[in-house]
Structure 1
Amino acid sequence: WKFMADLVEYGPEYFWKFKDGLGEPEPVEQISLVKSQQIPVKAMDINESTTAGNIDALTNLFRQMGVGSTAEESSPGCQDIGDHVTLVHGDLSTAERVESLRQSRSDETTSWRRFQSVVFVMGLFHLKMACADAIWKLYIQPKAARLDETCMMEHVAEIRPKETIKMGSKPGFRRMHEVIQHVGVVSRLDCWRLEVERVHKCSSLEEWAKLSPTWEDVQQIAKALTLNYVAGNNLSNIRSQPQQERDKQNENSLLLQRDCLLYEEITHAMNAGDIG
């Protein structure tokens, strides 16, 4: 689907007419749309960078919400949390501190004092940041990863020539997010060009558009692109070939396509609420 979406959205004008037929990716398990209730709380002058600060923050939030344990003298008139849980969202640092506070209270006599109802859930935006950082550490940060003529850094030098030093040191999430998307689109369109040249003997997508390909033609080539230009289960077999027969640049390109597409997949899943 992503290969076709790139062609329809960023390819020659002829393919724009297929936008209605493109649709959206088929959801695996899409959550239903519901209205969330949000309750503002008072500001807290608490240092959340420490375990003690997280304990104070959670205790303060529970107090403001009127939630606690009826067995505790310190929580008069509160609504007993019972068997319910409290989902706490955050980054990996928050996860470490929540786990630390639960361990530090593990010897307490009641589940409320042990913060047993607190369940940490990875914030999806922080997960997305971790994915972008992983791609940076794989394809840009190592100097050895920049030796390939088809590497990600070569693409960055073309589309962001004034930011190569910044990209090699600390690009930040927003810049890296845009690079992954832009490099992905450009490289996938180049895959279209190569496959069209192989199948239809056309030197460019514009030349192929003059032949008036049908939507079925587009779908057929998109399937071939997915099988031949993205790393799949057969990558280990490709790498097991004798050194003199291997095309390492192609192997690196296959891996880059795979990881960029996985990033696009998680981005779309988050936007569409597809938890499958």
Structure 2
Amino acid sequence: MTKLLQVSDLRVTFESGFGKVDAVRGVSFSMDMGDAIAIVGASGSGKTVLGRSMLGLVDAPGVVHGSIRFDGEEIVGRSEKELRDIRGLGIGMVFQDALDGLNPVYSIGSQLSEIFTVRRGLSASQAKAESIRLMEQVGIHRASERYDNYPHQFSGGMRQRICIAMAIGMKPKILIADEPTTALDVTVQAGILRLIKSLQAETGMGLIFVTHDLAVARMISTRIVVMYAGQIVEEGLTEAIFQNPTHPYTRALLAAHPGRVRSWRDLEPIPDAFVTDSSGSEAENSTPQVVVTN
């Protein structure tokens, strides 16, 4: 049976003054409708590049090799026009900074309505009604009154909710959320996470949640993919990985998380180089071994 998303031997390289830099190295995983996958790892591990590659958003000098099949169709190598048909309708994305996804010179209502008039062919009145409904769905109070407000008139948390509304407005089969709560305070963050979980339950869409926060990953996902140095080093069911992490890097991530220790003095820093040899012991300058936890 064909998977909704099948990523196979994905490699993303960037040309630099120092030669080629491998941001993603041989990544493979798959998912179906309703799956909730958290991609975790420290900054620079390749999480964001992986997420952006699924929408063809890796700009030059980045080069994507391998295969990304969505609904049985290959994404890698598609033209920009073909990718536009996949973005939104098939795969939606919410970025870390809401201001990256909103145009400051247009009202929120006009930006939402444009999605429905251009992409779904609705009339202006239908698009406005659908936009207000979506704003209410994501928790924007007095949505009809705030329809003509501009992005700067909303708080950071409200802007992120609007970006989520824009992403789900096309009813995507997969939503990619790239650290959408990182810039928000803890109480607002919890509300956004509850919103994403409830929307996934309502729509049945697949979710790929990119984060460096293990507590967030545990709350939002049923499966975790751990990335290090552009590769997947461990993957499995969320609770299995939290209860019994088998890769040294995963154990280091958990040991470095404040929520798992009584005092900051008990935190353990993550070494600069963390790879394993074939026996599972630590070794430098070797290729990380992938561990699958069932």
Choose between structure 1 and 2: higher strand proportion: 2
Choose between structure 1 and 2: higher helix proportion: 1
- Taking structure 2 as the reference length, the TM-score comes to 0.23
